[in-house]
Chain A
Amino acid sequence: MTKKEETSGRIGERILMCGNEAFAEAAIIAGCDAFFGYPITPQNEVSAYMSRRMPEEGRVFVQSESELAAINMVFGASATGKRAFTSSSSPGISLMQEGISYLAGAELPAVIVNVMRGGPGLGNIAPSQSDYFQATRGGGHGDYRTITLGPSSVQELADCIPLAFDLADQYRMPVMVLADGILGQMMEPIVLEKKPRRKLPAKDWALTGAKGREQNIVRSLWLGERVLEEHNYKLHARYEQIQKNEVICEQYKVDDAEIIMVAYGVAARIVRGAVDKAREEGIPVGLIRPVTLWPFPTEQISKAAEEFRFFLTVEMSMGQMVEDVKLAVAGKAPVLFYGRPGGGVPTVDEILERIKQLTLRPKSEE
């Protein structure tokens, strides 16, 4: 099979697609060489779509025997310099964490989409945001970070795929896209675009056969005294660079707001509705929406906390990102939380109710 120069994908047209198929097609447009995956709800459209589309494009599709195998197939393809891709949902992502840690240690790029569902354990198949800790804290063992993107619409989910591939290649590390069951299943009109790649470093480390050169070794084992320590410093320096350069965050009606909502993904979309409704009732509310969950928009939130205002974080979990919000606010203002776990999806009215309760708080708290 030879990879075709131009994809036959419908680039530039306005089309109706569900999130799972949209990000799969976006990966093809972004030049993904191989997809490896194992069935799990609610992202089964991805492998079904890829099993048809990847061969059409002269690329690789393999249904693996497990998520462990899938992430290691990604590892293998990536080690040879290819753009490798997988997707799964929460329990499957847990199984992939071993491989994600090895990708981080071996400095290999890869893109992983987690279409989150309720947990812990087998949980359910409803949308959730309960894997925030796992995604942003590393998930697997060892001292590493994973760039984590949290899109809030099907369009943004598709748009963040080429960005994820570029970030992975630029920084030589795994990048995770945190979607959820709603984003994966929901159909929305989108436009897929072929964006120019960033200026990326050559993959001179890739395993291609040592023809006319010294051998390349891809490894994560560093046994010598202080060698792993130095390796960790090197990774950390890269993470600092990412924190400095790659934060993406949307601010909505924040300037005059006395209450700052913080939410990401689908929850942010619902919060946005609540912000608009509250504004109609004259309540000055704004929304800060982190698009990169790691690196987290700590500076933006810290800055917003300088003038005293209430912060209300809304998540589809019992509170995970709220810890990052509290770290950013650093005690300068009260940070409150509203969440629904286990597949519960907060409604606009529920959130509006919480906003109203905040406005009743005595001014003495200031």
Chain B
Amino acid sequence: MKTVFKRTPTLKDCPTHYCPGCGHGIAHRLVAETIDELDIRGRTIGIAPVGCAVLAYDYLDVDMVEVAHGRPPAVATGMKRTNPDKIIFSYQGDGDLASIGAAEILHAGHRGEQITVIFINNAVYGMTGGQMAPTTMINQVTATTPKGRVASEQGYPLQVSELLATLPGTIYIERCALSGVSAIRKTKKAIKHAFELQIEGAEGLSLVEVLSPCPTYWRMTPAESMEWIENEMTKVFPLGRLKG
């Protein structure tokens, strides 16, 4: 029998702690495939965030560190500046990157740090129980917006990628989604490109934002979640290359 699809070596063979229908599993696999295809496992260091992906090192078989909430871009700066030959990536959620770590990502981009950022946007805080994130949609019901997010009280969904794209220090910003086979393939291509830029020594920060489903806290089935990304989230977070 011909094998047409198998686990990629950098993705560990282990049970997952993620909820059914969660996007992290797919995103992890795309990062692992990229590391294997580019043959950089031996010189890659990953940074796990605070949030559902805090245990990313349980799945990704590369050297990894887990750091304080929002601080991955600062940690990445310390790593890359002292190890310019290493490939440094951070994997961050929307609470981590867009809220508590807004200053760190902004200034890492501003300084043009040569790092790769995978930004998982699922419009909600997952690990702590589904609270509002900066990226939560208007009218979206969360644990802390029981009547839905209201712009006059909680502000509008924060478009971090658009913001970062205005900085001279960022070289590549693309927003992708995990809402279907074609979208996932595009996400893979974007992640790979972001790593390739760092390998080439391109001068600046690259970031791939990934719209990712959270059926548990969206109170939807996995299939409905995929549709919600395509029909609702992409209206506020349009897909495509914002820079580079």
Contact = CB atoms under 8 A, between A and B. Distances in A.
Are A and B part of the same complex?
Answer: yes
Nearest to A207: B63
A210 B104 contact: no
B75 A68 contact: no
A201 interface: no
Contact of A73 (B61, B77, B103): B77
A64 B66 contact: no
Nearest to A99: B68
A212 B42 contact: yes
Contact of A76 (B57, B76, B111): B76
Interface string B102-124: 01101100110000000000000
Contacts of A1: 84
A208 B54 CA distance: 20
A55 to B, nearest CB: 12
A218 B57 CA distance: 10
Given A76-B77, A211-B43, A217-B65, A69 B103 contact: yes
A60 interface: yes
Interface string A10-25: 0000000000000000
B75 A219 contact: no
Interface stretch (A77-85, A260-268, A289-297): A77-85
A87 to B, nearest CB: 15
A201 B71 CA distance: 28
B13 to A, nearest CB: 14
Given A65-B103, A80-B82, A221-B66, A209 B45 contact: yes
Contacts of B106: 65
Interface in A179-226: 207-212, 215-221
B61 A76 contact: no
A55 B106 CA distance: 25
Contacts of A209: 41-45, 62-63, 86-87
Interface centre among A36, A102, A218 (most CB of B within 10 A): A218
B144 interface: no
Interface in B121-147: none
A62 B67 contact: no
A73 B68 contact: no
A309 B81 CA distance: 55
21 contacts: A68-B71, A68-B103, A69-B103, A72-B71, A72-B104, A73-B74, A74-B78, A75-B71, A75-B74, A75-B78, A76-B67, A77-B82, A80-B45, A80-B83, A99-B68, A210-B61, A210-B63, A217-B63, A217-B65, A218-B65, A219-B65
Interface of A: 1, 33-34, 36, 60, 62, 64-66, 68-70, 72-80, 82, 84, 98-99, 102, 106, 207-212, 215-221
